[in-house]
Amino acid sequence: MVAIKRAIENEYKKEIEHAKCDLRDLIIRHNCAPIMLRLAFHDAGNYDAKTNTGGANGSIRNPVESANPANNGIKVALDFCDEIKTKHPMVTFADLYQLAGVVAVEVTGGPKIDFVPGRMDTLVPDSVRLPNANGGPRHLRDIFHRMGLSDKDIVALSGAHTLGRAHKCRSGFDGPFTRDPYTFDNSYFRELLKGETEDLLKLPTDKALVEDHEFKKYVQRYAKCKETFFKDYAESHKKMSELGFTTPKCGCH
């Protein structure tokens, strides 16, 4: 039995690697890194540490959850992932969505993020408990601390706004956060420290990072050193991608 289990685990690892390659090709071909990263965040970000509910479990594909206004536009990423799922049916949706986020960061020049597979799927919709873009420092802490994440995680993960832009039809806001929204770097933090700029968007939750003293020290640190940001981001992203998931000792499904 042990030998059979190990063989299945090894086969799953291989399938994950094949899916990763196909995700890389798809993301480059469709230039869809931002929405794929958003999918990973939105599937994991409903986690509640006290009740151990929600998290990276693939529930966002449930029509009730995906139709929530906080997930406007997410169907684009779900459909892309369905293409990969068809080719790799062994891979769970929960793993696939988080793998898509990891690949989205890597192909746009960001850090390599450690990925441990083994997440189990559910079709039961999570309660949508995502950040409100109009929130301030207290709101951000309420949301992220509920997940079990720290102030450092809040700022590091906010750095994902280096990719993509806001769309009025999705969030009510419009515009890019950086001058190169398809390159993962630390320019988001440099732009934050410049204050208001006419051609770049800063959400209330972005501004909160420089209004709060504890948050701002991380903004300054990441604006100064891309390597420091990449290191902290990779750690925080891994934590986010494993919310609600107990990593198996074998490191596989």
Q: Is 161 a catalytic residue?
A: no
Average pLDDT over residues 55-80: 97
> What's the pLDDT band for 204 if we cut at 50, 70, 90?
very high
Coil, helix or strand for 228?
helix
Give the pLDDT confidence of 216-248 residue by residue, as tens digits: 999 999 999 999 999 999 999 999 999 999 876
Domain with CATH 1.10.420.10 in the chain: 137-233
CB count, 10 Å around CB of 129?
Answer: 16
User: Which of 38-42, 71-75, 196-200 comes out lowest in average pLDDT?
Assistant: 196-200
User: Which of 6-15, 38-47, 103-112, 199-208 comes out lowest in average pLDDT?
Assistant: 6-15
Distance of CA 7 to the CA centre of its chain: 31
Q: Which CATH number does the domain 2-129 belong to among 3.90.79.10, 1.10.520.10, 1.10.1790.20, 3.40.50.1000? A: 1.10.520.10
Coil, helix or strand for 213?
helix
Angle between helices 151-158 and 213-224 (to 10 degrees): 50
**Helix ranges restricted to H, the chain:** 2-30, 33-44, 63-66, 75-87, 93-107, 137-147, 151-158, 168-171, 187-194, 204-211, 213-224, 226-241
Give the pLDDT confidence of 99-156 residue by residue, as tens digits: 999 999 999 999 999 999 999 999 999 999 999 999 999 999 999 999 999 999 999 9
> For residue 13, with 0-12 CB atoms within 10 Å meaning exposed, 13-18 middle and 19 or more buried, which class applies?
middle
Examine the pLDDT at 84 and tell me if it is beyond 60.
yes
196, amino acid identity: E
Q: What does the pLDDT read at residue 3?
A: 61
Give the pLDDT confidence of 15-40 residue by residue, as tens digits: 999 999 999 999 999 999 999 999 99
Q: Phi then psi for 214, rounded to 5 degrees?
A: -65, -40
- Burial letters for 63-90: b for 16+ Cβ neighbours within 10 Å, e otherwise? eebbebebbeebbebbebbeebbeebee
Domain with CATH 1.10.520.10 in the chain: 2-129
Q: What does the pLDDT read at residue 18?
A: 97
From 30, 42, 213, 237, active-site residue: 42
Examine the pLDDT at 9 and tell me if it is beyond 90.
no
> What's the pLDDT band for 252 if we cut at 50, 70, 90?
very low
* Cβ atoms 86, 8 nearer than 8 A: no
CATH fold for domain 137-233: Peroxidase; domain 2 (1.10.420)
